[in-house]
Structure 1
Amino acid sequence: MAPLTGNEIPARQPLIHMSEQLRHTPLNFDDIIIHSRLRDFEKSVTDSGLSIKLGHIGTERYLFKNQQVSLQRGSYLLVNRHQTFDCFIRNPTPVEGFCFYLSPRLIQEAASGLSRSVEDLLDHPAPKSNNKAPHFLEKIYRTDENKLGRYLEQLRPALVAHEQLDFNQVFFDVATALLRTHWRTEQEMRGIDCTRRSTREELYRRLCAARQFIFDNYCNDIQLEELAKAALLSKFHLLRTYKQAFGITPYQQVLELRLHKASRLVQEGGNLSHVASELGFSDRRSFTKAFKKKFGVAPSYYRAG
């Protein structure tokens, strides 16, 4: 699909390739995917559409309320409708990304499909118009941490290869995954023992920073002090609220990630002693004990036959 040369968006074109014309285009689309390719770019957005920005090549930087965030491959940024932010890119080679814009009607239809019974949908197929659009938690998410991120990663190769897609289904699937992820996030936030919504959201953001540190470093010897520093919380506060939100302690989170990776490596034929050492276990014996407790079989089971 050839990139646009003007500022207008053609009707019924769900995937659009854009570069410099983004400087002069209001970023408040509905049900469109923008594939951007930029090297030197800066824009202030005063009224955005609901969007999911997926990092692809290089780094995009955004400024929300004087807080800068960086978007790269392996992560996505969620931005609510009517948001204000600045975007800027400075790079000698092109930076690429995909941005999914979702309309209020699409979110409403997806929410109706998820929340209503089959019988109700058959009797009243039109979505209920009195459903208030949810306010999503705006932050950088890892694509491997939730349903939406995993779906975007599955979709990425088809978008890059310009494959023919059923975009009606794609947009509905993205909206559905977004809502499921939002409800899971709300459930995790409700677990935090805090009265004020704004305080709970801030605590959750900080806990997510600690969780991201764990995901990035779980093969290493992570100290509680490092996690507390990443989250800007005291060690006690971090331990208490982390389990409230995620139902697991930081130590258990590290162990779970190590064991799931160990399972993949062992099934691929990895040497057990090397796997144990690579994933931070003190020795093969402690690795075998933890593996068997988690999966019900020793890692040597995968060597049988």
Structure 2
Amino acid sequence: MILHEFPDLTWLKRQIAQGFSNRLGWGNLPLDVEGFPSVIIHTKVSECFRPDIKGPFSFFLNIRGSALCSVDRQTTCINEDNYFVSNRSQLYTLQVEEGTGGAETFNIHFGEFFSESVLNSLVTPTDSILDAGTEKQLSPVVFFNQLHRRDATFNALIQGIITSYTETGFSMLRFQEQLTALLSYHLQQHRHIAEIVNNLPPVRKATRVELYKRLSRAMDVLRSGFCGEIRLDQLAGEACLSKYHFLRLFRMAHGMSPYQYIQHLRIEKARALLAGSNISITDLAERLGFENSQSFSRLFYQRTGLYPTQYRLRAK
């Protein structure tokens, strides 16, 4: 289902505590099964504060504006370029702060049993699926709580959901197919992360995972604030590592330094803005944190082989 408002918080927490045993969604919408249903909350809010919700596996993202999501005592800022992941049964707090201009949320909560069924089918060999028949032998698939960059593939999947229900109405079959495609996409991102974890220093796996979690906190800062000034000691502090160890491990994990990654993010954002808006080159450079339009144009040419004005003409 797709909702255009946040459900009443008291009602929602009561339903979660009871496992949706009455099989009723918000507005007394009948549900096929018990458990937290698959739902997208696509709504515009000027501000909100929704604390300590024990949700299902979820993606938090915004079509416009930014929001804060807190999980395990860590708060992450989610802007229009990223999405954030929380796992089943994790307590999350969602906040859109007053005075920030509000946000248009597009938060995706995957049904309690739906996500596990899909993810298990994606990681289970075909012969094992045939042997198991229709028996439900589901094990939880747990992901890192972190920001993920929204690339063209992800944005196309999101736009496909919006376009389909806007133009032709809601279809449960199509909705489940679209959510399955999103889960498949995210699983590929998770496999890439697993490769990064394995590339960290050859210590115990648990230590590599902990190192990646620390680096991911610094990566979240980079992804949410790459247009501003970010200091090395700030990033190292987020990762709870010394500057030297942070730099070495970051390069090892991502194949570039934090500064190089910031420049990469700025160029990718510039590509999108040049193709999708009429913002001036001077204003674009200022928005992305460059000292002047000349330094921006020079870096853009080095990375793409085109000056910004040339790129815009070709993109149009």
TM-score tier, shorter chain, comes to 0.5 to 0.7
**In 2, Cα distance between equivalents of 1:58 and 1:278:** 16
User: Is the CA contact 1:151–1:177 (under 8 Å) kept in the aligned structure 2?
Assistant: no
> Match for 2:241 among 221, 233, 236?
233
**In 2, Cα distance between equivalents of 1:25 and 1:282:** 52
Note if 1:180 corresponds to 2:188: yes
Q: Aligned runs of 1:201-220 on 2, under 5 Å?
A: 201-220=209-228
> Match for 2:255 among 247, 250, 253?
247
**TM-score normalised by structure 1 residue count:** 0.66
Deviation at 1:169, TM superposition (A): 1.0
Deviation at 1:52, TM superposition (A): 0.2
**In 1, Cα distance between equivalents of 2:289 and 2:50:** 42
Secondary structure class of the residue paired with 1:26: helix
User: Is the CA contact 1:63–1:87 (under 8 Å) kept in the aligned structure 2?
Assistant: yes
Q: 1:272 to 1:295 in 2, by over 3 A?
A: same
Deviation at 1:196, TM superposition (A): 3.2
Q: 1:91 to 1:269 in 2, by over 3 A?
A: closer
Which residue pairs with 2:85 in the alignment?
Answer: 78
User: Is the CA contact 1:292–1:299 (under 8 Å) kept in the aligned structure 2?
Assistant: yes
User: Is the CA contact 1:142–1:149 (under 8 Å) kept in the aligned structure 2?
Assistant: no
Deviation at 1:140, TM superposition (A): 4.0
**In 2, Cα distance between equivalents of 1:280 and 1:55:** 23
Deviation at 1:176, TM superposition (A): 1.3
1:18-74 Cα deviation digits (max 9, x unpaired): 3131131126535521649996765574xx6x420525588576553xx25367564
- Mean CA deviation greater in 150-159 or 252-261: 150-159
> Match for 1:136 among 143, 146, 151?
143
User: Is the CA contact 1:59–1:71 (under 8 Å) kept in the aligned structure 2?
Assistant: yes
User: Is the CA contact 2:79–2:224 (under 8 Å) kept in the aligned structure 1?
Assistant: no
Q: 1:277 to 1:200 in 2, by over 3 A?
A: same
**In 2, Cα distance between equivalents of 1:304 and 1:176:** 35
Q: 1:272 to 1:170 in 2, by over 3 A?
A: closer
User: Is the CA contact 1:43–1:87 (under 8 Å) kept in the aligned structure 2?
Assistant: yes
1:64-120 Cα deviation digits (max 9, x unpaired): 3xx253675646553434x35375879899997735134456544455457768xx7
Structure 2: which amino acid aligns with 1:227?
L
Q: 1:278 to 1:244 in 2, by over 3 A?
A: same
Secondary structure class of the residue paired with 2:58: strand
Structure 2: which amino acid aligns with 1:69?
T
**In 1, Cα distance between equivalents of 2:272 and 2:285:** 13
Q: 1:41 to 1:195 in 2, by over 3 A?
A: same
User: Is the CA contact 2:57–2:112 (under 8 Å) kept in the aligned structure 1?
Assistant: no
**In 2, Cα distance between equivalents of 1:99 and 1:198:** 30
Identity among equivalent pairs (%) = 19
Which residue pairs with 1:54 in the alignment?
Answer: 60
Structure 2: which amino acid aligns with 1:195?
V
Structure 2: which amino acid aligns with 1:80?
N
Q: 1:198 to 1:153 in 2, by over 3 A?
A: farther
- Mean CA deviation greater in 190-199 or 179-188: 190-199
**In 2, Cα distance between equivalents of 1:71 and 1:280:** 18
Structure 2: which amino acid aligns with 1:51?
F
Secondary structure class of the residue paired with 1:134: coil
Count residues with an aligned counterpart.
283
CA RMSD of aligned residues (A): 4.8
User: Is the CA contact 1:143–1:150 (under 8 Å) kept in the aligned structure 2?
Assistant: no
Q: 1:33 to 1:264 in 2, by over 3 A?
A: closer
**TM-score normalised by structure 2 residue count:** 0.64
Q: Which has the larger radius of gyration?
A: 1
User: Is the CA contact 2:78–2:147 (under 8 Å) kept in the aligned structure 1?
Assistant: no
Which residue pairs with 1:69 in the alignment?
Answer: 75
> Match for 2:301 among 272, 282, 292?
292
User: Is the CA contact 2:58–2:108 (under 8 Å) kept in the aligned structure 1?
Assistant: yes
Which residue pairs with 2:199 in the alignment?
Answer: 191
Deviation at 1:241, TM superposition (A): 1.1
Secondary structure class of the residue paired with 1:25: helix
Q: 1:206 to 1:159 in 2, by over 3 A?
A: farther
**In 2, Cα distance between equivalents of 1:277 and 1:36:** 31
Q: 1:153 to 1:54 in 2, by over 3 A?
A: farther
Which residue pairs with 1:24 in the alignment?
Answer: 14
- Mean CA deviation greater in 278-287 or 16-25: 278-287
